[in-house]
Amino acid sequence: MAVERTQDPYVQRDAIKISVFMNVFNVHSNRSPIDGLVKRVQYFPGKFVNADLAKASLENERNAIWIKRADGQDVTSVQVAGLIARRILCYVQEGSVLTRGQRYGFIRFGSRVDVYLPLTAAVKVSIGDKVCATTTILAVLAKG
């Protein structure tokens, strides 16, 4: 639902943000976008406005996971609750090691995930694309 250059508010850097909206009929299992070490997990209480609105990224209840690749590149994956979603589950903590595609959390009902990538990432999706966990490549990171 969004592919844009923006500020990553969790790691304080310029980034490319890819937002994926999941409606009430989608599966809301969240998976790691990369192999890496979880540097920080931050939970933010918030509102429950419709997750397909841009303001949901910073106003809704959310849980941000900062992951660092072995080559030093940072990716932030943010679970964002929606209008109906009232519970974010996160199964990892700081210091956990994730592999790409590994399940790290779940969001109950309509929600979204925002992924903040380095500016050097080559985006492989467009607004309106339907994506599927573990099979759709959102972007490719350059070798760091």
pLDDT of 144 reads: 65
pLDDT of 50 reads: 82
Phi, psi of 59 (to 5 degrees): -105, -25
Residue identified by tokens 């849980």 is 63
Q: What is the mean pLDDT of the chain?
A: 91
pTM of structure: 0.90
Which active-site residues does the annotation give? 111
Distance, CA of 89 to CA of 77 (rounded, Å): 13
* Tokens (6 digits) for 67: 């992951």
Residue among 82, 86, 87 nearest 105 (CA)? 87
Long-range contacts of 117-124 (CB under 8 A, 24+ apart): 117/15, 117/16, 117/17, 117/18, 117/75, 117/141, 118/15, 118/16, 118/73, 118/74, 118/75, 118/142, 118/144, 119/5, 119/14, 119/15, 119/16, 121/16, 123/3, 123/16, 123/18
pLDDT tens digits along 87-110: 899 999 999 999 999 999 998 776
CB 97 within 8 Å of CB 118 = no
18 band by pLDDT with thresholds 50, 70 and 90? very high
21 band by pLDDT with thresholds 50, 70 and 90? confident
Report all structural domains of the chain as residue ranges with CATH numbers, in order of start: 2-140 (2.70.70)
pLDDT tens digits along 117-129: 999 999 999 999 9
135 band by pLDDT with thresholds 50, 70 and 90? confident
pLDDT tens digits along 35-91: 999 999 999 999 888 888 889 899 999 999 999 999 999 999 999 998 876 789 999
Is the predicted pLDDT of residue 33 greater than 70, yes or no?
yes
